[in-house]
Amino acid sequence: MAYLRQQLLEGLRTIGVVNHHFNYRG
């Protein structure tokens, strides 16, 4: 269960970084 939560947190962090990158570009 902890593994799935870890994967979810990693996914959310990746999405946040990508979203920030797109917002920064335009």
pLDDT digits (tens, 9 = 90+) for 1-26: 899 999 999 999 999 999 999 998 86
Q: What does each C-alpha distance from 10 to 5, 15, 23, 26 come to in angstroms?
A: 9, 9, 20, 25
Domain range for residue 8?
1-26
Distance of CA 18 to the CA centre of its chain: 7
- Using only C-alpha atoms, the chain has a radius of gyration, in whole angstroms, of 11
Predicted pLDDT of residue 25: 81
Domain count, the chain: 1
Cα 11 from Cα 26, distance rounded (Å): 23
pLDDT at 4: 97
